């Protein structure tokens, strides 16, 4: 008897909290959130208003603290970059867009030696004539451009879509420049026998 009465009281209390709508026959109780959550919400709203007002409306200086911090970090990064360039000019100060070709015999011989040592012959042939893997390096048609900067870039960074690996971890910029010079000065226009048909532009 007492248990039935307790259930009835509980049921009546739920009816008072029941919201007047249902979804698919399911009703929900109008349970208020606990006070600590509401106070946290109020504090957050008040803090946001004070923060926005102070930094966006009432701040009188031309540069905000966030902007000053950003400028300081940018300056520190620039100084670090300059130190890196000064410590290793070969790596950090080399301009890959302005490649000049070597014409001295010693430089061209070094480029020829690199062509053989780095396995270029496997894809482009002993004389740059090309084969089933790589294109001809002696004609006027080039897949990736034939300027010194173009050739330097494809040797250093490769072209995975065309099966060309990157050599930036195997050669220095100076070595790549010598190899580029030998290809464009000595190989290009040499008309070797059994040359592969032109490819590219």
Query: Domains, the chain, ranges and CATH?
Result: 2-52 (no CATH), 105-187 (1.10.760.10)
Beta bridge partners of 164: 159
Given this model, what pLDDT does residue 48 score?
A: 92
Given this model, what pLDDT does residue 77 score?
A: 92
Given this model, what pLDDT does residue 5 score?
A: 45
Given this model, what pLDDT does residue 2 score?
A: 46
Please work out, in degrees rounded to the nearest 5, the angle formed at the alpha carbon of residue 159 by the alpha carbons of 153 and 162: 135
Q: Are 148 and 101 in contact (CB under 8 A)?
A: yes
| Integer Cα distance of 180 and 155 in angstroms | 8
| Integer Cα distance of 139 and 41 in angstroms | 73
Given this model, what pLDDT does residue 60 score?
A: 59
Given this model, what pLDDT does residue 171 score?
A: 92
Given this model, what pLDDT does residue 12 score?
A: 58
Given this model, what pLDDT does residue 180 score?
A: 94
**Residues with Cβ within 8 Å of residue 192, at least 6 apart in sequence:** 125, 127, 128, 129, 138
This model's pTM is above 0.75:
no
pLDDT tens for each residue of the chain, 201 residues long: 444 444 444 455 556 667 677 777 777 777 778 999 999 999 999 999 988 887 777 765 666 677 788 889 999 999 988 888 777 776 666 888 889 999 999 999 999 999 999 999 998 989 989 888 889 998 998 888 889 999 999 999 998 888 899 999 999 999 999 999 999 999 998 898 888 888 878
Please work out, in degrees rounded to the nearest 5, the angle formed at the alpha carbon of residue 77 by the alpha carbons of 71 and 79: 105
**DSSP letter string over the chain?**
-HHHHHHHHHHHHHHHHEEEEEETTEEEE-PPPPHHHHHHHHHHHHHHHHHHIIIIIS--SSS-HHHHHHHHHHHHHHHHHHHHHHH-HHHHS--TTSPPPP-SHHHHHHHHHHHHHTTHHHHH-TTS---SSS--SSSS--SS--SHHHHHHHHHH-BGGGTBPP-TTTS-HHHHHHHHHIIIIIITT---TTPPPP---
């Amino acid at each position: 008897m007492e248990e039935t009465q307790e259930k009835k009281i509980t049921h009546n209390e739920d009816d008072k909290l029941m919201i007047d709508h249902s979804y698919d026959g399911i009703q929900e109780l109008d349970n208020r959130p606990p006070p600590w959550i509401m106070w946290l919400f109020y504090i957050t709203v008040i803090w946001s208003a004070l923060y926005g007002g102070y930094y966006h409306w009432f701040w009188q200086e031309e540069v905000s603290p966030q902007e000053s911090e950003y400028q300081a970090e940018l300056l520190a990064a620039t100084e670090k970059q300059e130190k890196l360039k000064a410590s290793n000019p070969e790596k950090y100060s080399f301009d890959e867009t302005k490649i000049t070709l070597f014409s001295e015999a010693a430089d061209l011989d070094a480029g020829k030696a690199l062509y053989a040592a780095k396995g270029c012959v496997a894809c482009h042939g002993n004389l740059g004539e090309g084969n089933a893997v790589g294109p001809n390096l002696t004609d006027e048609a080039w897949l990736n451009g034939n300027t010194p900067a173009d050739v330097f870039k494809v040797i250093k960074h490769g072209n995975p879509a065309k099966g060309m690996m990157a050599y930036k971890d195997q050669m220095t910029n100076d070595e790549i420049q010598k190899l580029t010079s030998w290809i464009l000065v000595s190989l290009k226009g040499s008309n070797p026998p059994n040359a592969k048909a032109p490819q590219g532009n």
